[in-house]
Structure 1
Amino acid sequence: MITVFYDGKCGLCSKEINYYKTIANPKKFTWLDVANNPNHLKSIDVTLSDALMQLHVLDNENNIHVGVDAFIIIWSNLKFWRILSFIVGLPIIKQIANLLYKKFAERRFAKLPHCQLSLDR
């Protein structure tokens, strides 16, 4: 089972995750909203701030994947998205994707009040 830890208070994040839920095999994924239930993070020893900053995925072998690597795990297990996981996984493209995602994640985190509040915990 692949476990996805996502920010359920982020409109864009929720919209994307809800789309994935509609196309994903329910036997392959567990979707955990850490913004509304931070206790989900206890099992993987990740801070709420880190989880809100970037998407986290726990794979079948209990390895944690963060950011673009997390998306690659999700996409590689979704029909019609596997090709994107392959393309984004290519070395140069992955470097660029990591840079872009990091910038996006930092800006999103800075703008959302619940993300800023997580720094106080």
Structure 2
Amino acid sequence: MTMNVLTIYYDGNCAICSREMRWLGSLNQRQQLQFVDIQQPGFDPASLGVSFADLDREIHVSQSEGPLLSGIDAFIAIYRAVDKQWLAAVLSLPLIKPLWQWLYLRFARNRYGISRLLGMRVGAKCDLQGKCR
């Protein structure tokens, strides 16, 4: 049985997003997650078949086996990969999944402002170890 590795494409300029990626990195015991900061110089989304604007609009995950996922579907796959089945289950509930997607898209659109409201530095370019420049 082959392991389905997920590559997460996230906005490293977003303080909340970077913090979430560090948390996920701490849960990545089986090395099923790889992290790509789309804000890094030289990043090119061409091989993914989506534009940079699409990637910047919401989180995306490519799978070694399966389609490119975005938004709540990406988070469901991520949480399953790190054995957070309860989080995946909550996000997957058919009657409220559309609400989660709507809320997530509102967050994603306003992530820099929300980060500032929470006292987090925006655009500090923090790596997955929490070191910022």
Normalising by structure 1, we get a TM-score of: 0.81
Residue 40 of structure 2 aligns to a residue in which SS? coil
Q: In 1, are the aligned partners of 2:14 and 2:112 still within 8 Å (CA)? A: no
State yes or no: 1:85 paired with 2:88: yes
Equivalent residue runs for 1:1-121 within 5 Å? 1-25=5-29, 27-37=31-41, 39-79=43-83, 81-108=84-111
Higher RCO (CA-CA < 8 Å; seq separation 6+): 2
Counterparts of 2:24 and 2:71, CA distance in 1: 16
Greater share of residues in helix: 1
Sequence identity (%)? 27
2:10 corresponds to which letter in structure 1?
Y
CA RMSD of aligned residues (A): 2.3
Once the two structures are superposed, residues 10-52 of structure 1 have per-residue CA deviations (whole angstroms, 9 ceiling, x without a partner) of 1010000011001113531111111114524222022112111
Gaps of at least 5 residues in structure 2 are 116-121, 124-133
2:56 corresponds to which letter in structure 1?
L
Question: Judging changes above 3 Å, is the alpha-carbon distance between structure 1 residues 42 and 25 closer, same or farther for their aligned structure 2 residues?
Answer: farther
Moved more, 2-11 or 40-49: 40-49
Normalising by structure 2, we get a TM-score of: 0.74
Once the two structures are superposed, residues 75-109 of structure 1 have per-residue CA deviations (whole angstroms, 9 ceiling, x without a partner) of 01112x11110121011121110110111112237
1:17 corresponds to which letter in structure 2?
M
Gaps of at least 5 residues in structure 1 are 115-121
| CA drift at 1:111 | 8.5
> 4+ runs of 1 displaced by more than 6 Å?
109-114
Residue 43 of structure 2 aligns to a residue in which SS? helix
- Pairs aligned (count): 113
